[in-house]
Amino acid sequence: MDPGRADIAKLHRLLQDGARAFNEQFDEDAHLNDVIPKPWGYEYRAFVDDFFDLWALHIEPGAGTSVHVHPRKLTYLICLGGVGVTTGLGRADIPVRAGTILRIGAGAFHGTRNTGTEPLELIEVEVPRNKFDLIRLRDDYNRAGTAYETTALEEPRHPMRKVPAYPNTKMRAQTPDGRFRFDLRTGMDIFYRPSDKDIFHIPLHISGVIARDVEILTGNRDDNRRPQTDKQYLCISRNH
């Protein structure tokens, strides 16, 4: 999904009416490292450094996010499990299911709804990092026009922890429900030691931030793309 004339016109009107996209204060907004309750479920950070920000979304059946926009950042929406649809302005619904990778350009309005009977589990890959780069257009829970949440719930079992070898980096070992885990691995390790439990491999390289193009690999054996051996990847895998 890339922004079109309708997206730009709607964003221009919202900004004229006083809407604002704020900026995250990296060392001050500590609540972003806990679980953020949502009226549609909850979300939480899986990985963060100065440029990449990865969030896991748990959307309950029949519920959905607001239709919103990130004016500054590129987003990839990848699906771990469940089924749903992502909608935009004047676009046909895009089906979302396990294995889906959807690129959403900066400035493109979008919203995702769970159309199944089980939770919809998603990962948002956001570059560059700025959680408050958000303007809500429409919402089922009266949040249109509001800023990002300021409250959180502590997750004591699998908290965000610093990664000693990488400055300004934190990550979570696994999801709160224990179904999926997160690991840092080199491309060489992924290539020579593939795992049937791997779902996605996300390259954490500054080239993806500069080019606004993050080549996310899947653990599917039909994916013939090779990981780059000199890059570091965040690997998402099934825990069982």
pLDDT digit string, tens, across residues 154-166: 877 888 999 998 8
pTM of the predicted structure, to 2 decimals: 0.92
| Cis before 128 (ω within 30) | yes
- Work out the average pLDDT over 99-118: 96
Q: Residue 23: its pLDDT value, please?
A: 86
Residue 28 has pLDDT above 80, yes or no: no
Q: Residue 6: its pLDDT value, please?
A: 92
Q: Residue 121: its pLDDT value, please?
A: 96
Task: Assign domain 5-138 to a CATH class.
Answer: mainly beta
pLDDT digit string, tens, across residues 195-235: 899 999 999 998 888 888 999 999 887 888 899 998 999 99
At 128, the pLDDT band (50, 70, 90 cuts) reads: very high
Rounded percentage of the chain residues whose pLDDT exceeds 90: 75
